Structure 1
Amino acid sequence: MGNGYLRFAALGDSTTVGLGDPVPGGGWRGWARLLSEALQASYDVSFCNVAISGATAAVVREQQLAGAVAHRPDLASLLVGVNDTLRSTWDPARLREDLLHVAAELTGAGATLMTVRWHDHGSILGLPRLVVRPITERIEVVNEVYDEVHATFGGLRLDLALMPEVLDRANWSIDRFHPSEVGHRALARAWAERLRAAGFELPLPGATPEGGCPPSWRRDVAWMVAEGAPWVGRRARDLGPWAVRRAVVAMR
């Protein structure tokens, strides 16, 4: 399967935006763009990235879906749900409804879905289990919804918990929540392997950093001050009281 026209739409949150993989002059690259560049070796690729940093499943449905469907994608990646788990407005029923609706619309437009099962973010953040247990429980709910999405609509999927790279600190940015360039490359390579197994022709994206911004502790600190710390603060205000209540209950 190759030498044709291929439309690829990427939907989701900051991971798909490419946070953690900066490019010279500003902006982000990320796994989805790396994958689209690899696909260009065999296809005339039209790449549409509608992901938004901080997006929840509802944001994907309300602000990204129409643009992605209008692109008439052959491939559509849907990586979202972690931000839902970090909000006090957590609503599993709404999450399920939104993800199933988005998946139905994308596959109805002819796209092959690309979805994930999320890893345990608590093991990466290095926080006490008492603190991260509520988030872990919510991630399990998100994964159950993705299981239903995959069972209903098929497509390709990636189980991040089975990737040994997830536990390697080099694959994470300074905030330990967004992939580094190395992490984005690992994601792109994992997706490329699944696409090749499905009959697509493409080389594996390189694993070694190249073409982006070289690692810099100054840039990492600047990013953490300008964006990372405010993000943590917003999530702490939003989720903190609920997490504390859950922790107190668990200690009784």
Structure 2
Amino acid sequence: MRYVAIGDSFTEGVGDPQPGGGVRGWADLVAIGLAAAHGSVDYANLAIRGRLIEPIATVQCDAALALDPRPDVMTFNGSGNDMMRPGWDAARISALMQRVVDRTGEAGVSLVILSGPDPTERLPRGRTFSDRADELMAIVETLEAAHDHVTFVDNYRDSEMRRAAYWDTDRLHLNPLGHSRVAARVLGAMGVETDLPVAPAGDPGRPGVLAEAAYVGRYVLPWIGRRLTGRSSGDGRVPKHPAWTTIEAPVG
């Protein structure tokens, strides 16, 4: 079993930090779950935070399909960063996603497309993000219906994951519990039944004025600064698992 993941910070695992540095995330957890089901799995993760959909659908996709031996299954997520920038073009997004579908179909690789959960209730300009996400959902559903090798895992419409209990302090990335829930949903789509994590009842109330100001200073203003200067959070980064890494079945 060979599994490769392509995408941005969501697939890299931002929000699920590990002791000593680095991040884990849902894709790593999927690899562990597949190893438990199959005895072991060869795993690669080419995702890099901050990436727009074009380099994911071209550079990352081509590198994933060039792995030797070829993957059996690929997970693909992208366009979240495109949604937060001006110049959103649904037709262009559709063409890039179609490219990934076509390339995997030609290579005989099963493709799992997944959407990220819905962060709009706590984000500035959340309504714009939501409108664009609705367009993306329609694009992916059309692709799934037209291609037998494509499976869609719709995390965006999982109302449970809209709760604050699943989100990191930046309100944009999932925390470890959120990543665990996404992993369980992806594994279920791959035929590996896994318990679905659910947060305890009760969420914190809305932040006060001082807390909101601190949030803007810590997260929103640096994001705006990167946009104005043409920088990305992924500048200088490389994939965390660019080649096949064997994941053995967990003991116990």
Bin for the TM-score computed over the shorter chain: 0.7 to 0.9
User: How many residues matched?
Assistant: 211
Is 1:134–2:132 an aligned residue pair?
no
Is 1:163–2:158 an aligned residue pair?
yes
| Aligned residues: CA RMSD | 2.8
Instruction: Give the equivalent residue in structure 2 for 1:95.
Output: 93
Q: Distance in 1 between matches of 2:43 and 2:221?
A: 32
- 1:131-186 CA-to-partner distances (Å, cap 9, x unmatched) read 43222221112222112221222432222244243122121000111010000000
Q: Distance in 2 between matches of 1:232 and 1:176?
A: 15
Q: Distance in 2 between matches of 1:110 and 1:120?
A: 31
1:234 to 210, 216, 226: 226
Q: Distance in 2 between matches of 1:236 and 1:204?
A: 43
Could you tell me whether the CA contact under 8 Å between 2:117 and 2:162 is conserved in 1? no
- 1:33-62 CA-to-partner distances (Å, cap 9, x unmatched) read 011011111323111111111112201123
Is 1:204–2:198 an aligned residue pair?
no
- Return the TM-score normalized by structure 2: 0.74
Partner of 1:42, secondary structure, is helix
Is 1:15–2:10 an aligned residue pair?
yes
Report the more deviating stretch, 13-22 or 227-236: 227-236
Q: Distance in 1 between matches of 2:166 and 2:51?
A: 22
Q: Distance in 1 between matches of 2:126 and 2:24?
A: 29
Instruction: Give the equivalent residue in structure 2 for 1:66.
Output: 62
Q: Distance in 2 between matches of 1:103 and 1:168?
A: 32
- Cα 1:132/1:169, change in 2 over 3 Å: closer
- Cα 1:59/1:86, change in 2 over 3 Å: same
Could you tell me whether the CA contact under 8 Å between 1:165 and 1:186 is conserved in 2? no
Instruction: Give the equivalent residue in structure 1 for 2:140.
Output: 146
- Return the TM-score normalized by structure 1: 0.74
Q: How does 1:33-44 map to 2 (within 5 A)?
A: 33-43=28-38, 44=40
Q: Distance in 2 between matches of 1:27 and 1:118?
A: 21
Instruction: Give the equivalent residue in structure 2 for 1:185.
Output: 180
Partner of 2:194, secondary structure, is coil
- Cα 1:100/1:74, change in 2 over 3 Å: same
Q: How does 1:205-224 map to 2 (within 5 A)?
A: 207=197
Structure 1, unaligned stretches of length 5 or more?
1-5, 197-201, 210-223, 239-252
Which one has the bigger helix percentage?
A: 1
- The percentage of counterpart residues that share the same residue type is 30
Higher RCO (Cα < 8 Å, 6 or more apart): 2
2:189 to 191, 194, 204: 194
Report the more deviating stretch, 67-76 or 8-17: 67-76
1:121 maps to a residue whose letter is P
Q: Distance in 2 between matches of 1:32 and 1:119?
A: 15
Partner of 1:55, secondary structure, is coil
Could you tell me whether the CA contact under 8 Å between 2:141 and 2:152 is conserved in 1? no
Structure 2, unaligned stretches of length 5 or more?
200-215, 231-252
Could you tell me whether the CA contact under 8 Å between 1:118 and 1:143 is conserved in 2? no
